[in-house]
Structure 1
């Protein structure tokens, strides 16, 4: 389909300009959230009886303080998304919690996905600044709980809260930029916001590795508190206009708004997703066998709740959390699938590659962050290149096919990693995998823009974000399940002196893995090769606690 024939709209033009300019290129999720929050806020403003357009703008120093504060908050959001990757090995070592490692990233994505369809509706009906600060407070609270965590369960709870708060930050920041400046100036300030925000993805593994190695992994989350508090104070002191004039919050307004939020659909989806992921975690983590009544009951409960969810969404029609009418469009369905799978490979790689570098290669957290840069940089570069190529070629399908093929090849090569894989190979494999993902990141949104009328774009963008987060949450948990099962089957053959349950009670730090065997043991290479093809999607747990209980001393 020729992109030149796309129907023009306010946000579509902004997205196209951002694709042509490297400084304003962004990932699919960021652009999608901008479309959802900005367009939906405008459209719903037209429907409200008391809502009229607000043409008040801010200028000068106040404007740059707002843009700078929002940009740094977006930086913290993306830093939080990637900083955990190099901290996970130490976290699992401290909490002895390998079966839970899938939840550390997965529950954040799941919480973000569950609340995502509601955030745009909240921004369209409530005050922008106070709504944004409320989401930011929830995000900061989640960071605080993660930093103070004394158990794996408490840490997972903190990640859940942070995910709920993070679901409203990017689209809120985009909407506030749109409300603060005239139409012709929005691309410049939006590009500034996105450019600074994306730096968090690059800095995350490096900052996380340095803090974990030289201070404590807890500062990967504490770092959000002082910086976030200062930014919130700056926003509090500046008046930020809304896209439309909104009535004050009253009980009658809340009563009118609640039916439009599809809270029943949200509750049904959350229960189905949690039961499904919990069944995978319990069965795959060897806590219970697959034929356990608890695991089977969770699978059955998830299936039954999912059926009820589908029936309820069908009844809600266009007001549903996931409008079914969009999925009947084949291009939309393919776009959702492509975006979901690309994000799944992205999150899985970011979560488990540092585990390979620390647990198998034996490097520290800082160097494991450095070692992940080839994939990150190639992905960001190809996002810019593909965004510039589509309008020049006039076709997006060749890039979609190229992205899928290259991503598959890159992931296939990554599955061949062993303890003896050379530097040139794992660098090259990451470049291929990152280039494949980067080429296809913006393709789903471009295809959707051309397949659907402008009136359906906000809902379609929200659904793509929803599918991305849900897919990545499932992928991380499934990856951990595959790895745990492989360890149980391979360890008796490759390292017979290491009990499988002891390995599953270990951590993924270099010292934790090597403490499983005495120094100079000939079984070390076999131990490091256990579950070889799943090293990019699984991990180890620390067994130093078990060694000490047994009266044994492990050393690196």
Structure 2
């Protein structure tokens, strides 16, 4: 039977009312010169031949073990993101620095987003399994630093190191799965990985609350070490094929690959991203927005960015971020949809524990329990959408439903206050779980429209957009919260110092220690925290709405297996 690659396929889709095809013809999406350069750079030799696609798929118990190992890594990454949520109020109280809350998530996202584009080049050139294990080792080192940190600064450094490792995990897991199973099976297996990775979000707040309340929040990071070690050992022993055939890892291969990584492009991009994110963080906490430090960082990022774009354009298909790939509609649409939806999810997850602990007055463990309705419903929707995508074939309805439902539910959550009933905060969170329907839409779309040689780069760019978006808007969300809290405390509890409120953190005990029990001032403090949380929800609404708008760009792509020629299919 004649084999065809994704580069030669046409994504079949219905026509719109005007008779134009809504799908993408891949053999026309790449200019001849760009296609030739892409094939040459992805090849394993210097002949310029197109890379050979690997059909050595994994089946049976070996696939089950491989999927379990990769899912464990993804689970630990999601656990690391969620377990800190119920611990943050206590961490901020221990280190006496509520303004640093943005850095606890922002430092991770900053380093992860900065290195993310380069990881795609690694996965394109080197066998995915070993690249994946390398990045997870860095992630483990960062977790260890967080666990033993003695100050807020040391903790932030640990989060930054963990972010360096995390930059290659999510796209790496998706890349490993893409090489292990055929195209038509990927929606189900990727949904499986994402869904059970979401278990990290489920148990994270619970485990984080238990550790924080009954042991110490440091175990939120120690836990990554034994679980990661076992999963790493299994993955190292398993066969994990790549989408395209690559040589064995060796020093000679690394010497050959390193000059092809567009390190100059990375050297221009890294300070650009760092200066931009530092400007946001400094402006939101340590310096006025009109200070020379903040303005200088913004100017530096603004100067470096066009230089980076020029260099990437000059590099063509050999660029760290190939602009010819990014210009494709399905690439930038998928990236916007995925980044904005996950931004709404992660920023919300960062502030929900603040509401439950500071406003509702519960401890870290119970605040994790209170977050279960939204996380469980999100898990359910991920599994349902992933399973039905292989049967229905179209991703557009799922993406639209996720964006609209998340925006509506975030609007309802913005009405939460000190007296919000259990039925409302449970019900609104269940509706908030519809976000799960859209989390895999962009990933599956890129797997269908990009050739195998570009698959890792496409996924890396998608995850990069997610990381840079969540990094920026975590800082923006923190700025909104702290600025709103200062104004609300001044208006509702005049005898309480705004500086004291910021330094108190978000734990129930620290907030209630700001004013005498039962006093009108304490009621004003609690209302101020509730109003500040509600203000952050407007950011969630905006991000989810952007995801809804971007989703229309998917069109009617059919991700089901295309019929083989010569079998009587029409």
TM-score, with structure 1 as normaliser = 0.79
**Unpaired segments of 5 or more residues in structure 1?**
1-6, 13-40, 540-556
Which residue in the other structure is 1:529 paired with?
527
The 10-residue stretch of structure 1 (459-468 or 527-536) with the greater mean CA deviation from structure 2: 527-536
Paired residues in the alignment total 501
| Structure 2 Cα separation of the partners of residues 395 and 282 of structure 1 | 44
Q: Deviations over 1:351-401 (max 9, x none)?
A: 110111011111011111111111112222222333455566665444444
The 10-residue stretch of structure 1 (315-324 or 153-162) with the greater mean CA deviation from structure 2: 315-324
Which residue in the other structure is 1:142 paired with?
142
Matches within 5 A, 1:194-233: 196-233=196-233
Q: Offset at 1:474?
A: 0.9
Q: Offset at 1:426?
A: 1.5
Q: Offset at 1:154?
A: 1.1
Aligned partner of residue 504 in structure 2, secondary structure: coil
The 10-residue stretch of structure 1 (218-227 or 382-391) with the greater mean CA deviation from structure 2: 382-391
Q: Offset at 1:512?
A: 0.7
Q: Deviations over 1:415-445 (max 9, x none)?
A: 222111111111222222221x223223334
Q: Deviations over 1:48-85 (max 9, x none)?
A: 35998889899998776655444433322221121111
Q: Residues 144 and 221 of structure 1 are in contact (CA less than 8 Å); yes or no, is this contact kept in structure 2? A: yes
Does 2:45 match 1:48? yes
Which residue in the other structure is 2:507 paired with?
509
**Unpaired segments of 5 or more residues in structure 2?**
10-37, 538-570
Matches within 5 A, 1:474-513: 474-513=472-511
**Structure 1 399/257 Cα, relative in aligned 2: closer, same or farther at 3 Å?**
same
Does 2:334 match 1:335? yes
Which residue in the other structure is 1:442 paired with?
440
Q: Residues 187 and 386 of structure 2 are in contact (CA less than 8 Å); yes or no, is this contact kept in structure 1? A: no
Q: Offset at 1:172?
A: 4.1
Aligned partner of residue 523 in structure 1, secondary structure: helix
Q: Offset at 1:143?
A: 0.4
Which residue in the other structure is 1:542 paired with?
none
Matches within 5 A, 1:242-253: 243=242, 244=245, 246=247, 249-250=250-251, 253=253
Q: Offset at 1:129?
A: 4.8
Pick from 448, 457, 461: which aligns with 1:459? 457
Which residue in the other structure is 2:409 paired with?
410
Aligned partner of residue 520 in structure 2, secondary structure: coil
| Structure 2 Cα separation of the partners of residues 140 and 439 of structure 1 | 30
Does 2:386 match 1:368? no
Q: Residues 489 and 525 of structure 2 are in contact (CA less than 8 Å); yes or no, is this contact kept in structure 1? A: yes
Q: Residues 124 and 453 of structure 2 are in contact (CA less than 8 Å); yes or no, is this contact kept in structure 1? A: no
Q: Offset at 1:408?
A: 1.7
| Structure 2 Cα separation of the partners of residues 355 and 458 of structure 1 | 37
The 10-residue stretch of structure 1 (65-74 or 106-115) with the greater mean CA deviation from structure 2: 65-74
| Structure 1 Cα separation of the partners of residues 46 and 160 of structure 2 | 36
Aligned partner of residue 416 in structure 1, secondary structure: coil
Q: Offset at 1:538?
A: 6.3
RMSD over aligned Cα atoms? 3.6
Aligned partner of residue 363 in structure 1, secondary structure: coil
Does 2:99 match 1:106? no
Q: Residues 374 and 433 of structure 2 are in contact (CA less than 8 Å); yes or no, is this contact kept in structure 1? A: yes
| Structure 1 Cα separation of the partners of residues 53 and 397 of structure 2 | 41
| Structure 2 Cα separation of the partners of residues 480 and 288 of structure 1 | 15
Aligned partner of residue 530 in structure 1, secondary structure: helix
**Structure 1 216/451 Cα, relative in aligned 2: closer, same or farther at 3 Å?**
same
Q: Offset at 1:190?
A: 6.7
Does 2:356 match 1:351? no
Which residue in the other structure is 1:545 paired with?
none
**Structure 1 183/444 Cα, relative in aligned 2: closer, same or farther at 3 Å?**
closer
Q: Residues 42 and 453 of structure 2 are in contact (CA less than 8 Å); yes or no, is this contact kept in structure 1? A: no
The 10-residue stretch of structure 1 (265-274 or 42-51) with the greater mean CA deviation from structure 2: 42-51
Q: Offset at 1:131?
A: 3.3
